[in-house]
Chain A
Amino acid sequence: MIEQSASFTQRLRAIVGDDGLLTDPQQLRLYMYDGSIERALPLAVVLPRTPEQVAALVRLCHAEGVFLTPRGAGTGLSGGSIPLCGGVVLSLARMKAILSVDTENQMATVEPGLVNLDLTRHVSPKGFQYVPDPSSQGACTIGGNVAENSGGPHTLTGGVTTNHVLELQLVLADGTQVSVGSQAPDPPGPDLVGVVCGSEGTIAIVTRIVCRIVRKAECVRTMLAAFDSCRAASEAVSAVIASGIVPTAMEMMDHPALSAIEAFSHAGYPVDAGAVLLLELEALREEVEDAAPRVVEICRAGGASEVRVARNEEEREALWKGRKKAFGAMGRIGPSYYVQDGVIPRTRLPEVLDRVEEAARKVGLRVANVFHAGDGNLHPLILFDDHDPDQAKRAIAAGEEILRACVEAGGSITGEHGVGMEKRDYMGLQFSEATLAAFTAFRDACDPGHTLNPYKLLPSGLGCAEGGKRQKTLTQMQALAERNAAIGEAY
């Protein structure tokens, strides 16, 4: 076994070179984590520099039946890049080049390890931006965004990652390199780019991305409105939409979140408010000047005690600063947090927020809410002490209760963080057995050995319900997991 593992390591090294392979346990520990509460140790980490190296690595792991977990920046919040069964972590961090920018066609070709914000920074002097802006955009990668189909505060009108990807170069599970999509609109046949986006690294590894860049809007206006309660703020959100105005962002923060954020980033938020709405309008100057006073009016009519409009870019950035750093600020009010990502139809916000509150109260924990109110994407942060196993258990129980409430309100268990390993067993809340079977059949068709990011996205126990074929796959996977563990032990 030792001999075999040594030769496997040598073969990894032959592909990526000495500096592209990590096997020192100290270094490997850095790859145990992502932004979720899960962790697991890989047996090796590889850092390829070219699509060809990625393909060779995938071919090797495919042939040897060794699990492969792709990883961007490790900022994911659902455990998607955790090497659950050991195996190899394939970090795309070194493939971070901007290969070309084509302003005439409004597109850029980038490598997957490019940090999201670096693309906008690069094209900004030419007046362009890359629209999807997850709060972690200063660290997360575009490849990771494609895997998770990430959103952000500005997706209400701008759309999520999938709406900004035109073409993808992929390495499939057997190591073949292909591309899907087109730089020309509406290529014939099914929308395969759309199928790959959000597949969480389970059907292919993305090695190159052609994404849309757009001209920055002529005028942006950001405003903050303070309300007595989340209910009042939620109703204001619906009232704005009903008036025919669709802001580019509508973010809500509740009272517990506000105090934490203010203590952390001194953004100047009104800490005594029950809830705050951060609204942004982005359009032609005339349109913004016409709509902004109407939004202010609607908020006041909805009971806003204060409405503040940013007068310049500095004030605008200050208003956003607090929101973008909100998750990090939670350390001010609790040792740790467990964040959920359920989505509901916007009109159901008031009642579901009540249920969120109740779910936390029932298990004796506090909850802070920071979320995308415009598209009904909740982010309840359940505060707990991660050194206390009982509290952790209670936090998870409250999280499940919240997801149940979202699904019952006609929504989804995840809006932008992905299923990963964290929510795979909640998939059954949202999807029927028949739909889950279709997902599984697709996964099996793309990667029969489940080598790529195993045990993610699909319910862990699904196989048992399905009998024959799947059982066999599970048995094979069990054997593979043991083999992976054995290779790991050889170190």
Chain B
Amino acid sequence: MDVMERLRPESYDEAARVLNEAAARGNVAIVGGGSREAWFPPAREPVAVLESSALRGIVRYTPADLTICARAGTPLAELGEVLGRERQRLPLDPWPQGSVGGVIASNDNGPLRTRWGGVRDMLIGVRVALPNGQVVRFGGDVVKNVAGYDLTKGYVGSAGAFGLIVEATFKVQPQPVRSACAALSGTLEGLGAAWRALRERALPFAALEVVRDQSRWRLYALAEGDEVVVERLLRECMEAARSAGCTLEQAACSDVVEWAHKPAAASVWLRIGVPPARTADVLRALPQELAAIARPWVGIVDVCGDALDAATAELILRRALDAHGHAHLRRAPSALRLQLGWWRMERGGGGAALFPMLKNALDPGHCCNTGRTVYDCTGPGAAASPQRAADI
């Protein structure tokens, strides 16, 4: 078998040209930095692999505008360094970090999702190489912009289905002056009472992570901001711990980071999303041998471990669906993958209708990463997704 051609264009125009040429021959696999390649079903029978890795560097950055524009292959870490020199940051902290384009296409995020939202809340524009050989631009460099369809959003979570992202612009923010972390330990019920009490007071914690290691439950609260804010948030943690009957423990900000890095190192990683108030329901049902990291204010639960049998996994997935949530099996040994597929989600029918409309408009030949999303994957790895009535 031929070694598949790998295309690493160095300019936007070159990207559009080589994509156009490859698309004329067949399907094209589109990859960013490659760090999340195994999270999605493989592209269907590609004749070439198109990478954004040679499209690297900052395009525009005016710190006073709090926006930054970078080429898609720029590692997120490099973007962070450039921003850090101006004491700014992009509050997006997924792990692995990967590239700018990859984090958009995979719609990934980390602990800071609690306070600052996801990719869709920070991304204000993309430039894309389309299979028709054109480079197009959606959105722009300004923080408010309703000109034309907001197709920028369509690229968030697109897994390369609509062409190669070559450039992106984000809103950024000042770095917090200070960060500190508190940890509460106790029963899941006690911690649940604490995180609910804190939420009711609209306290701006940067991150709130409930973790289970063996049989111990712990709630990490990351406080960021000016000195007075951090002090206040730490005081609130103390108060919440006392009234919920939990123990306050010493913790470092790096604890939050360490926990957030765990799933990527495990052989099984299941990312579950549920309405936030259902987080505890999902956690309560998890078998002992699995570790869990959850964002209870958001409704994200990362379940990870070294072994998971299909029957247990089905029970966990069932619970996520029952809670009107969804799940993405990000990492799995191949046997489990074959049994479980990639996703579980309720579908309101809108995706099944709108996804092909976007695909037909942007990739009418259906040659870009076809088969990699929940809406067009097929075969044993596909999602078993119950259809739901449109009524919400």
- The interface on chain B, measured as residues whose beta carbon lies within 8 A of the other chain's beta carbons, has a size of 95
Would B154 and A192 count as touching, CB distance under 8 A? yes
**Which residue of the partner chain B has the closest CB to A441?**
B361
Measured between beta carbons, the chain B residues less than 8 angstroms from A423 are: 147
Partner of B64, one of A176, A181, A286, A347: A347
**Those of A293-321 within 8 Å (CB) of chain B:** none
Measured in the bound complex, the distance between the Cα atoms of B364 and A342 in whole Å is 33
Partner of A170, one of B162, B203, B350: B350
Measured between beta carbons, the chain B residues less than 8 angstroms from A443 are: 149
Measured between beta carbons, the chain A residues less than 8 angstroms from B135 are: 434
Measured in the bound complex, the distance between the Cα atoms of B69 and A410 in whole Å is 12
Measured between beta carbons, the chain A residues less than 8 angstroms from B67 are: 345
Would B373 and A189 count as touching, CB distance under 8 A? yes
Convert A392-429 into 0s and 1s, putting 1 for each residue whose CB lies closer than 8 angstroms to a CB of B: 00000000000000000011111111110001000100
Given the interface contacts A192-B351, A411-B142, does A169 sit within 8 Å of B157 by beta carbon?
no
- For residue A191, CB closer than 8 A to chain B, the reply is yes
Would B118 and A434 count as touching, CB distance under 8 A? no
**Those of A243-296 within 8 Å (CB) of chain B:** 244, 246, 283-284, 286-287, 289-291
**Those of A22-40 within 8 Å (CB) of chain B:** none
**Those of A447-463 within 8 Å (CB) of chain B:** 457
Measured in the bound complex, the distance between the Cα atoms of B229 and A289 in whole Å is 11
Would B204 and A283 count as touching, CB distance under 8 A? yes
Would A191 and B156 count as touching, CB distance under 8 A? yes
Measured between beta carbons, the chain B residues less than 8 angstroms from A283 are: 204, 229
Convert B267-298 into 0s and 1s, putting 1 for each residue whose CB lies closer than 8 angstroms to a CB of A: 00000011111000000000000000000001
**A342, chain B: closest CB distance, angstroms:** 9
**A473, chain B: closest CB distance, angstroms:** 14
Would B144 and A160 count as touching, CB distance under 8 A? yes
Measured between beta carbons, the chain A residues less than 8 angstroms from B392 are: 109, 167, 169, 179, 183, 208, 210
**Those of A434-476 within 8 Å (CB) of chain B:** 434-439, 441-446, 457
Would A182 and B326 count as touching, CB distance under 8 A? yes
**Those of B195-238 within 8 Å (CB) of chain A:** 200-204, 225-226, 228-229, 231-232
Would B326 and A184 count as touching, CB distance under 8 A? yes
- For residue A483, CB closer than 8 A to chain B, the reply is no
Measured between beta carbons, the chain A residues less than 8 angstroms from B144 are: 151, 155, 160, 343, 372, 375-377, 412, 415-416
**B89, chain A: closest CB distance, angstroms:** 12
Measured in the bound complex, the distance between the Cα atoms of B390 and A168 in whole Å is 9
Measured in the bound complex, the distance between the Cα atoms of B140 and A419 in whole Å is 15
- For residue B358, CB closer than 8 A to chain A, the reply is yes
Measured between beta carbons, the chain B residues less than 8 angstroms from A102 are: 275, 277
Given the interface contacts A162-B150, A182-B273, A412-B144, does A192 sit within 8 Å of B228 by beta carbon?
no
Would A192 and B355 count as touching, CB distance under 8 A? yes
Determine the main DSSP class of A at the interface with B.
mixed
Measured in the bound complex, the distance between the Cα atoms of B155 and A186 in whole Å is 13
Partner of A241, one of B66, B120, B326: B66
Measured in the bound complex, the distance between the Cα atoms of B149 and A41 in whole Å is 27
**A280, chain B: closest CB distance, angstroms:** 16
Measured between beta carbons, the chain B residues less than 8 angstroms from A361 are: none
- For residue B62, CB closer than 8 A to chain A, the reply is yes
Across chains A and B, the number of contacting residue pairs, with CB separation under 8 Å, is 304
**Which residue of the partner chain A has the closest CB to B357?**
A445
Would B120 and A284 count as touching, CB distance under 8 A? no
- For residue A177, CB closer than 8 A to chain B, the reply is yes
- For residue A20, CB closer than 8 A to chain B, the reply is no
Would A180 and B154 count as touching, CB distance under 8 A? no
Would B362 and A442 count as touching, CB distance under 8 A? yes
**A436, chain B: closest CB distance, angstroms:** 8
Convert B125-160 into 0s and 1s, putting 1 for each residue whose CB lies closer than 8 angstroms to a CB of A: 000001000111110111111111111111111110
**B359, chain A: closest CB distance, angstroms:** 8
**Which residue of the partner chain B has the closest CB to A192?**
B354
**B17, chain A: closest CB distance, angstroms:** 13
Convert B86-125 into 0s and 1s, putting 1 for each residue whose CB lies closer than 8 angstroms to a CB of A: 0100000000000000000001010001000110110000
Given the interface contacts A159-B121, A411-B142, does A177 sit within 8 Å of B324 by beta carbon?
no
Measured between beta carbons, the chain A residues less than 8 angstroms from B362 are: 438, 441-442
- For residue A217, CB closer than 8 A to chain B, the reply is yes
Measured between beta carbons, the chain B residues less than 8 angstroms from A178 are: 348-350, 352-354, 390
Given the interface contacts A441-B361, A442-B358, does A169 sit within 8 Å of B145 by beta carbon?
no
Would B147 and A345 count as touching, CB distance under 8 A? no
Convert A166-200 into 0s and 1s, putting 1 for each residue whose CB lies closer than 8 angstroms to a CB of B: 01111010001111111111111111111111110
Given the interface contacts A187-B273, A216-B202, A242-B64, does A180 sit within 8 Å of B142 by beta carbon?
no
Partner of A180, one of B274, B351, B383: B351
Measured in the bound complex, the distance between the Cα atoms of B277 and A104 in whole Å is 6
The interface centre, meaning the residue of A151, A162, A183, A218 with most chain B CB atoms within 10 A of its CB, is: A183
**B168, chain A: closest CB distance, angstroms:** 14
Given the interface contacts A187-B273, A238-B64, A244-B174, does A290 sit within 8 Å of B391 by beta carbon?
no
Would A191 and B353 count as touching, CB distance under 8 A? no
Measured in the bound complex, the distance between the Cα atoms of B375 and A102 in whole Å is 29
**Which residue of the partner chain B has the closest CB to A417?**
B146
Given the interface contacts A188-B157, A189-B355, A190-B373, does A411 sit within 8 Å of B140 by beta carbon?
yes
> Which residues of B approach A to under 8 Å, CB–CB?
62-67, 87, 107, 109, 113, 117-118, 120-121, 130, 134-138, 140-159, 161-162, 173-174, 177, 200-204, 225-226, 228-229, 231-232, 273-277, 298-300, 323-326, 328, 343, 345-346, 348-358, 360-362, 364, 373-375, 383, 388, 390-392
Report 9 cross-chain contacts, Cβ distance below 8 Å, ordered by A residue. Answer: A51-B390, A163-B117, A169-B391, A199-B149, A246-B173, A345-B62, A345-B142, A427-B148, A438-B138
The 4 closest A-B pairs by CB, nearest first: A194-B153, A179-B348, A180-B350, A215-B202
Other than A159-B121, A186-B157, A344-B142, give 13 A-B pairs with Cβ distance below 8 A.
A149-B150, A162-B120, A167-B348, A180-B354, A191-B107, A195-B154, A198-B146, A291-B226, A346-B64, A412-B144, A439-B149, A446-B357, A457-B148
